[in-house]
Structure 1
Amino acid sequence: MPSRPEIASLLDLSLMADFPPQYGPEEIRRTNPQRDAMEQLSGVLAMDVPSGWAVGYKDLSSNDFWCPDEPRTLSPGCVETAAQLAVFFLKRSGLFPSVGVFGIGGLGNLRFFNSISAPCRLVVAVRTIDIDPPGAARMEFFAEVNAQPVYSGDLLCVPLDCAAAQRKGLRAGTTRPESKELIGSGL
């Protein structure tokens, strides 16, 4: 098995899996725009802004949109769960105060380790790797189900509607002023 990312070595997700949530669905909805089937973050278990990490979860059930067609899958909404937790962390941390909507500007080092069968609790951790407000944030993520690794990787969160980023010369969904392409999906 490939080596675990640094965040997996720093935090024991199996111990945190049953913590009561620090932030529940209503707090998440006040911060993140996703609703209905696109809500891929059920709760935030812990968050440490000075250390740059957060742990959250998605309670997967047999009623989730993917279950009828794929009762056992590599990872339903995996990137979306990690992205929603990363965006929740970035918005609540105050690092990007003028950003309303983030997008996924890129993915790296994405690895799948085990498949998932609902019902289960998918526990996800994110950690900041590089932050450049108002331009972008690169976050490492790692997920487990029942103390077994499910996936890991890193993602680039970019502001899609930030006036400060535009003043810096960044186009929505880009991280470099010289970039001509528009990338990212709304988060």
Structure 2
Amino acid sequence: MEQDSIRNFRFQNLQEKNMSFEDVFKHIVHFMKLNPRGNYRLMVGTDSQVHRTYTIFITGIVIQQESHGVWACIRKVIVPRKMLHLHERISKELTLTEEIVSMFTEHKKNQLIHIILPYVYQGATFSMEGHIDIGAGNRNKTRAFVKEMVARMESMGVEPKIKPNAFVASSYANRYTK
């Protein structure tokens, strides 16, 4: 992804609007530095909702210190048509998640790992997950896409999570698609 397009991405949460990816990254670093001995999960996931004349996609970025809270933000993308084909919509959700995941370059991931590194032997951890709004259950219409979408996340070196463990996509991002 080119540096110019990264600069044009805008994120928001309840406290701040119009954040750049660099702003988001600084918030994540600050959150982790508050307790470098913590267990951190950096999670990215996207959900969508078809409306009358458009389809809205919300990508959530969540840094969670297990049992000690989160910092989170979203990115909104609107496609000016009804995307009625499920595979197309799920694939677009994952593409938007992949775009954000790719912004966490090896250099940026290493910066985050270096925050907890001195405390690894005291139990500090860091992981990165891609939350995919699909499920493998027999009654789930998206089960046919699980292998394909999980493989795409794994190819990026990110741990894929599907329903019911994909809460950034299925709960956090979902809240903002209505």
| Greater RCO, CA 8 A, separation 6+ | 2
Of Structure 1 and Structure 2, which has the larger fraction of its residues in helix? Answer: 2
TM-score higher than 0.5 here? no
